[in-house]
């Protein structure tokens, strides 16, 4: 095990099997207490890599799990040469991604939850959308859309499916002129060159919105693809109200309407913009 361990900074240990250099694709998965689903996700990722001969690295960011997630991950190091494990002590979906995205080496980056809801078999579809075709540039960001295909009933709380998600997606479409219908979808892919321009900072679930909003504000090409969404294994880490509020607050903070209002109010009150 010792030769597979390299200290990289302060609180972080990077555990890795010998790397294949340089990967074209980075698959990154945040994980907080997902012991029931993690092995299934690992096996599905291995399968898609093998089937499509993907030149990839797979980064699991363990968010200080208190269950057996890390033990299961470490068991997989031998026999899975693409696997890397990062530990992030700071809790939060965004914290996990910020840690992982700082390490990616691939040209194309795929992201998905560690709960078996998303189909890792879709990775080649996401990559295809990112790549240029016959001189037509590919997308900078591709986001899955869970609502285009029929969802099994009860797959998510009704207030997420019919109120929270549509409302917040509507606001993002309205304010930032993006044609994305499922802004919270965790299955997405982004070009590394695009990622480098984003300076992503939020630590909670609102990270998902921040990525889309910043791409939109920079005029990047954003596309969506219909995906299959399955019933989650294990417990959801999403808190409807606090996470919903964090998304809304972020949308308002970046919205042109609110920033114009604050400039207007500042000018009325004689407050100088910094
Ligand atoms: N909420 C939360 N999720 C985390 C954290 N760290 C990693 N995650 C992972 O982020 C992903 C999204 O969370 P999930 O519970 O599936 O949210 P949902 O898909 O909106 O129900 C899962 O893979 C979690 O394991 C964390 O600190 N908080
Ligand atoms: Mg999930």
Output the domain CATH number for residue 246: 3.90.550.10
pLDDT of residue 9: 38
| pLDDT reported for residue 271 | 59
Residue 114 lies in a domain: yes
Residue 42 lies in a domain: yes
Select from 126, 95, 89 the least CA-distant residue to 110: 126
Please check the confidence at residue 217 and state whether its pLDDT lies above 90: yes
Please tell me if the CB atom of residue 31 comes closer than 6 angstroms to any atom of ligand 1. Answer: yes
> Which ligand has the shortest distance to the CA of 157?
1
- Mutating to test ligand 1, I would choose from 28, 32, 100, 118 the residue with most ligand atoms within 8 A of its C-beta, which is 32
Q: How far apart are the C-alpha atoms of 208 and 187, rounded to whole Å?
A: 10
Which atom of ligand 1 lies at the shortest distance from residue 236's CA? 15
Ligand number nearest CA of 61 is 1
Quick one: which atom of ligand 1 is closest to the CA of 186? 19
Is 26 inside a domain boundary? yes
Query: Would you say residue 119 lies in a domain?
Result: yes
**Burial of residue 186 (number of CB atoms within 10 Å: 0-12, 13-18, 19+):** buried
**Ligand 1 centroid – CA 113 distance (Å):** 7
Predicted confidence at residue 259, as pLDDT, reads 66
Q: Mean pLDDT in the chain?
A: 89
130 lies in some domain: yes
Cα-based angle 12, 14, 17 (whole degrees, multiple of 5): 170
The model's pTM: 0.88
- Please report which ligand is nearest the Cα atom of 33: 1
Q: Domain for residue 69, yes or no?
A: yes
| Number of domains composing the chain | 1
Categorize the per-residue pLDDT at 1 as very low, low, confident or very high, splitting at 50, 70 and 90: very low
pLDDT at 3 > cutoff 50: no
- Note down the domain range covering 31: 2-269
Q: Specify the pLDDT at position 29.
A: 98
Q: Is the CB of 114 under 6 A from ligand 1?
A: yes
User: For ligand 1, what atom is nearest to the CA of residue 29?
Assistant: 23
Asked if residue 274 is part of any domain, the answer here is no
Whether 101 maps to a domain, the answer reads yes
Q: 93 CB under 6 A from ligand 1?
A: yes
């Amino acid at each position: 095990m010792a030769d597979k361990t390299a200290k990289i900074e302060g609180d972080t240990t990077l555990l890795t099997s010998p790397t294949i250099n340089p990967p074209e694709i980075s698959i990154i998965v945040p994980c907080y207490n997902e012991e029931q689903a993690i092995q299934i996700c690992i096996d599905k990722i291995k399968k898609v890599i093998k089937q499509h001969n993907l030149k990839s690295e797979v980064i699991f960011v363990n968010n200080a799990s208190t269950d057996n997630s890390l033990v299961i991950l470490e068991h997989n190091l031998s026999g899975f040469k693409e696997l890397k494990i990062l530990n992030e002590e700071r809790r939060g979906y965004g914290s996990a991604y910020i840690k992982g995205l700082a390490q990616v080496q691939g040209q194309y980056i795929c992201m998905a939850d560690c709960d078996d809801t998303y189909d890792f078999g879709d990775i080649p579809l996401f990559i295809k959308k990112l790549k240029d075709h016959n001189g037509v540039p590919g997308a900078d960001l591709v986001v899955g859309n869970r609502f285009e295909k029929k969802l099994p009933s009860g797959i998510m709380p009704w207030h997420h499916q019919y109120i929270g998600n549509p409302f917040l997606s509507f606001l993002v479409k309205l304010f930032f002129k993006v044609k994305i219908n499922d802004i919270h979808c965790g299955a997405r892919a982004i070009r590394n060159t695009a990622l480098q321009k984003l300076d992503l900072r939020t630590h909670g679930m609102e990270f998902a919105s921040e990525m889309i909003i910043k791409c939109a504000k920079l005029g990047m090409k954003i596309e969506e693809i219909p995906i299959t969404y399955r019933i989650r294994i294990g417990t959801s880490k999403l808190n409807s109200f606090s996470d919903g509020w964090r998304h809304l607050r972020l949308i308002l903070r970046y919205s042109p309407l609110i920033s114009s209002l604050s400039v207007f109010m500042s000018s009325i009150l004689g407050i100088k913009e910094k």
